[in-house]
Amino acid sequence: MYHVLSAHQFDRQQLDELFKTAEIMEFNARKGGLNLLGGKIMAALFFEPSTRTRFSFESAMMRLGGTVISTENAAQFSSAIKGETLEDSIRVISSYADVIVMRHNEVGAAMRAAKVATVPVINAGDGAGEHPTQSLLDLYTIQKELGRVDGLKVAMVGDLTYGRTVHSLAYLLAKYQGVKLYFVAPESCPIPEKVKAFLDEKGVEYFEETDLEKVAEIVDVLYMTRIQKERFPTQSDYERAAGVYKIDPPLLDRMKSNSIILHPLPRAGEIAPEVDDDPRAAYFRQAKNGVYIRMALLAYCLEEGMVSRDTTALESL
Ligand code: CP
């Protein structure tokens, strides 16, 4: 594996291998880590805020014996503020680090970075585009919690237009057999046509619903997302979407006893805190899995051979 730019680049065999490696990483992390990447440096280049992605990547690198270089809020405190292009920053950082983990506000920024980087680039979220490493840990969590992915009914709820985690997860779930997707979004942030076109092409069954109570009764996975204030064009667009859907104890009562609730987090009121103690609330376990998946990804990225370094091939996915 070289760059990690999109959920599209993974096939089933790679996903199975990655998840097996993540299990091994979890075992090793519990024992204090291992020195697989001793002497290697990871640059954390975050142009947008992050808690989970950044800390879990940093934790993952350190648990593998590597070190991390970073700047607080790259949009403000890197030379981007002086007008340096993303490409120039990446060219330079490539000579300081062995892998670059980058979050950026623009769709396609990770691909732009990968085109000029001389080290692997990992997309830690590109605007409203994709968040492939989040979707990998989401899928890993589903498999770990429910024992399978094939044949599951998965609902995605909330900000489906700008929710990059949802886009990447839909792309990954399309690689499994018999998965049914239920999209539940406020009117102003539906699932994008691009995602639906992809699902149509792959023959994945999906439904656009408005009644969360009805959907909650039938699904195995309820994947909730935050209405992302920072991505809506206007305050009134945001206000029309905020608070429309919420998971609270009455909704929980309707859910199947063997279902799970996931959320990429952070949350902003769409899951009531009273839900947290229910065993079906898997979102904090999900966040923890991020360390193991990212340990596996870092190990793969710093090894040769699994996926082409050729960004032209990745662009056509
Ligand atoms: N899930 C996720 O991307 O969280 P952060 O924004 O805290 O990294």
Q: What is the CATH number of the domain that holds 303?
A: 3.40.50.1370
- C-beta 133 within 6 A of ligand 1: no
Distance 49 CA to ligand 1 centre (A): 8
State pLDDT tens for residues 128-141: 999 999 999 999 99
pLDDT value for 122: 98
Q: Is the pLDDT of residue 311 over 90?
A: no
pLDDT value for 305: 43
Sign of the dihedral defined by the CA atoms of residues 137, 278, 267, 196, in that order: positive
Q: Specify whether 125 is located in the same domain as 153.
A: no
Q: Specify whether 137 is located in the same domain as 179.
A: yes
Q: Which residues fall in the annotated binding site for carbamoyl phosphate?
A: 52-53, 103, 131, 134, 265-266
Distance 128 CA to ligand 1 centre (A): 13
Distance 27 CA to ligand 1 centre (A): 24
5-19, 110-124, 225-239: range with lowest mean pLDDT: 225-239
Mean pLDDT of 234-252: 93
Instruction: Give the confidence band of 73 by pLDDT, cuts at 50, 70, 90.
Output: confident
- C-beta 134 within 6 A of ligand 1: yes
Q: Which residues fall in the annotated binding site for L-aspartate?
A: 82, 164, 226
Q: Specify whether 154 is located in the same domain as 184.
A: yes
Whether residue 206 lies inside any domain: the answer is yes
Range of the domain at 56: 3-130+290-310
**Which ligand 1 atom sits closest to the C-alpha of 131?**
3
Distance 138 CA to ligand 1 centre (A): 12
Other C-beta atoms within 10 Å of 253: how many?
Answer: 10
**Which ligand 1 atom sits closest to the C-alpha of 48?**
6
pLDDT value for 46: 97
Instruction: Give the confidence band of 312 by pLDDT, cuts at 50, 70, 90.
Output: low
Q: Specify whether 17 is located in the same domain as 140.
A: no
pLDDT value for 76: 84
Mean pLDDT of 158-174: 97
- C-beta 256 within 6 A of ligand 1: no
Q: What is the ipTM of this complex?
A: 0.99
State pLDDT tens for residues 39-55: 999 999 999 999 999 99
Q: Specify whether 84 is located in the same domain as 163.
A: no
CA 148 vs. chain centroid, Å, equals 19
Distance 114 CA to ligand 1 centre (A): 21
Q: Specify whether 274 is located in the same domain as 138.
A: yes
- C-beta 284 within 6 A of ligand 1: no
Q: Specify whether 23 is located in the same domain as 67.
A: yes
To test ligand 1's pocket by mutation, which of 47, 48, 51, 226 has the most ligand atoms within 8 angstroms of CB?
A: 51
- C-beta 53 within 6 A of ligand 1: yes
Whether residue 285 lies inside any domain: the answer is no
Mean pLDDT of the chain: 93
Whether residue 215 lies inside any domain: the answer is yes
Mean pLDDT of 309-314: 48
Instruction: Give the confidence band of 1 by pLDDT, cuts at 50, 70, 90.
Output: low
Distance 203 CA to ligand 1 centre (A): 30
Q: Is the pLDDT of residue 303 over 90?
A: no
- C-beta 265 within 6 A of ligand 1: yes
- C-beta 180 within 6 A of ligand 1: no
Q: Which residues fall in the annotated binding site?
A: 52-53, 82, 103, 131, 134, 164, 226, 265-266
Instruction: Give the confidence band of 77 by pLDDT, cuts at 50, 70, 90.
Output: confident
| Three-class SS of the chain | CCCECCHHHCCHHHHHHHHHHHHHHHHHHHCCCCCCCCCCEEEEEECCCCCHHHHHHHHHHHHCCCEEEECCCHHHHCHHHHCCCHHHHHHHHCCCCCEEEEEECCCCHHHHHHHHCCCCEEEEEECCCCCHHHHHHHHHHHHHHHCCCCCCEEEEECCCCCCHHHHHHHHHHCCCCCCEEEEECCCCCCCCHHHHHHHHHHCCEEEEECCHHHHHHHCCEEEECCCCHHHCCCHHHHHHHCCCCCECHHHHHHCCCCCEEECCCCCCCCECHHHCCCCCECHHHHHHHHHHHHHHHHHHHCCCCCCCCCHHHHHCC
Q: Specify whether 298 is located in the same domain as 267.
A: no
For the annotated catalytic residues, the residue numbers are: 52-53, 82, 103, 131
Whether residue 217 lies inside any domain: the answer is yes
Q: Structural domain tally of the chain?
A: 2
Q: Specify whether 166 is located in the same domain as 65.
A: no
Whether residue 316 lies inside any domain: the answer is no
Whether residue 181 lies inside any domain: the answer is yes
Q: Specify whether 272 is located in the same domain as 154.
A: yes
Q: What is the share, in percent, of the chain residues with pLDDT greater than 70?
A: 95
Nearest-CA residue for ligand 1 atom 4 is 52
pLDDT value for 307: 39
Q: Specify whether 150 is located in the same domain as 217.
A: yes
- C-beta 101 within 6 A of ligand 1: no
Whether residue 64 lies inside any domain: the answer is yes
Whether residue 77 lies inside any domain: the answer is yes
Q: Is the pLDDT of residue 2 over 70?
A: yes
State pLDDT tens for residues 169-227: 999 999 999 999 999 999 999 999 999 999 999 999 999 999 999 999 999 999 999 99
Instruction: Give the confidence band of 32 by pLDDT, cuts at 50, 70, 90.
Output: confident
Q: Specify whether 125 is located in the same domain as 136.
A: no
Please tell me which residue, 303 or 30, carries the higher pLDDT value: 30
